[in-house]
Structure 1
Amino acid sequence: MSAIKLKIAITLIASSLALGGCKTLDPYTGEQKTSSAVKYGAIGAAICGIIGSRKSSKRARNAALGCGIVGASIGAYMDSQEKKLRESLEQTGVSIQREGDQIRLIMPGNITFATNQSSVQSSFHPVLNSVVTVLREYEETIIEVEGYTDSTGSWSHNMTLSEARAKAVSNYLQGGGIITQRLITTGKGPNNPIANNDTAEGRAQNRRVEIRIRAIQA
């Protein structure tokens, strides 16, 4: 096994152990949950190993060790990424929100998917292509793709649909060259509404896919 492959294997094993060994109990559901700091740290370590493996010998080792953003640099890194996203996504219907050192892209369901369907509409492909271009440039980030629905219909149907839509967007990003290890994909169903589900306008806002982007911290 080459030194680079061995490094990646060790990184992935360490990440798996970290995720398995730092669980907390959700007081509401009784389910075990991995703490956010451990989860994102482990994912970041795996990503850095892969980033390093794509470079050559000594540069690969240095890249893997030096991967991750430090302190105040995180804000500047995300500022630059946000600026490019705003330029690329202007007048596309995608909302961009900055939340501390995270960037949140809100993609309304009516422009992303046909009614009750989970295949990304071809008219939305250029928008996702613009997102991919920026995400490939700023590769030291973790990307969370979350699907949401309104509250109409059964809970199980909404969960299934939201998962399928999130997966469709995630798959499109992967097809554009975003490595799998950077992506976390979940379906949230009707949870976390951003508007009132009692009105048609509110339900339309709640049917969405969100992409949350956070920097890998050194």
Structure 2
Amino acid sequence: MQKLATLCLAVAVISGCQTIDPYTREQKTGNAASGAGIGAVAGAVLGAAVSSKKDRKRGILTGALVGGAVGGGIGYYMDQQEALLRQELEGTGVGVQREGDAIRLIMPGNITFAVNSDQVSTSFYPVLDSVGKVLAKFDKTLINVDGFTDSSGSFEHNQNLSEYRAARVADYLGQVGVNSNRINARGYGERYPVADNATAAGRSQNRRVEINIRGQQQS
């Protein structure tokens, strides 16, 4: 019973961390906390198994702490980056999505580019400046800048436009301090729509640039 209580305490301390979503103001458990919790349980079990009966309590606690730190790893790094991006981009119209150890920034075409243009709107420069500042700070990530269009116009035109727009955003990020070796720009044209191209609202959602930030395991 005492061993179980010690294990539960260790796991609770490590995995109980929560953050506040700056949009909803609701508490949420970070990905790092989830990973830390899993690592803590595994570490505690291992610590109990390899420790003598006399030192088992200490082994459980030590294993839980070490396992929690390893489990948190990249998740913690991405949690911190996500929190800063949400803070910098609040109210800008840019969507922030978290998927495991990856972050996706969704930039609607109507605020990023003029119609049928591959020139970044000057009004969007401050937003990209904010994104660049965060990406430069969290430099242990890889970045894909992906361009998409709606289905209006020819397939070839849409493909070229999406490639040019992705390249413009990637180039701008490089100019504001993000290492260009981390950035890969791609265009997908009218492929991978997120809404119905038969409606004006749907086409507006499909015209977008996404910045996908992928974490790497830290050494």
TM-score, length basis structure 1: 0.67
CA contact (8 A) 2:144 2:184 kept: yes
Measure, in 2, the Cα distance between the counterparts of 1:72 and 1:156. 45
Measure, in 2, the Cα distance between the counterparts of 1:205 and 1:94. 12
Q: What per-residue deviation string (whole Å, max 9, x for no partner) do you get for residues 169-200 of structure 1?
A: 00000001111110011001011111111110
List structure 1 segments (4+ residues) > 2 angstroms apart after TM superposition: none
Corresponding letter in the other structure for 2:113: F
Tell me the equivalent position of 2:150: 150
Cα displacement (A) at 1:217:
2.3
Cα displacement (A) at 1:215:
1.2
Tell me the equivalent position of 1:126: 126
Measure, in 2, the Cα distance between the counterparts of 1:195 and 1:79. 29
Measure, in 2, the Cα distance between the counterparts of 1:176 and 1:103. 20
CA contact (8 A) 2:81 2:134 kept: yes
| Larger-gyration structure (1/2) | 2
Measure, in 2, the Cα distance between the counterparts of 1:214 and 1:201. 29
Tell me the equivalent position of 2:110: 110
Going from structure 1 to structure 2, the CA distance change for 1:194 and 1:184 (only over 3 Å counts) comes to same
CA contact (8 A) 2:145 2:184 kept: yes
Measure, in 2, the Cα distance between the counterparts of 1:192 and 1:141. 24
Q: What per-residue deviation string (whole Å, max 9, x for no partner) do you get for residues 116-147 of structure 1?
A: 00010000000000001100110000000000
Q: How many residues align?
A: 149
Tell me the equivalent position of 2:177: 177
Measure, in 1, the Cα distance between the counterparts of 2:104 and 2:112. 16
Measure, in 2, the Cα distance between the counterparts of 1:114 and 1:71. 44
Tell me the equivalent position of 2:190: 190
Query: What SS does the aligned partner of 2:83 have?
Result: helix
TM-score, length basis structure 2: 0.67
Q: Calculate the aligned-residue CA RMSD, in Å.
A: 1.0
Measure, in 2, the Cα distance between the counterparts of 1:111 and 1:85. 18
Q: What per-residue deviation string (whole Å, max 9, x for no partner) do you get for residues 30-77 of structure 1?
A: xxxxxxxxxxxxxxxxxxxxxxxxxxxxxxxxxxxxxxxx75311111
Measure, in 2, the Cα distance between the counterparts of 1:177 and 1:157. 31
Tell me the equivalent position of 1:76: 76
Cα displacement (A) at 1:152:
1.2
Percent of counterpart pairs with the same letter?
Answer: 56
Return 5+ residue gaps in structure 1 as ranges.
1-69
CA contact (8 A) 2:133 2:177 kept: no
Query: What SS does the aligned partner of 1:103 have?
Result: strand
Tell me the equivalent position of 1:29: none
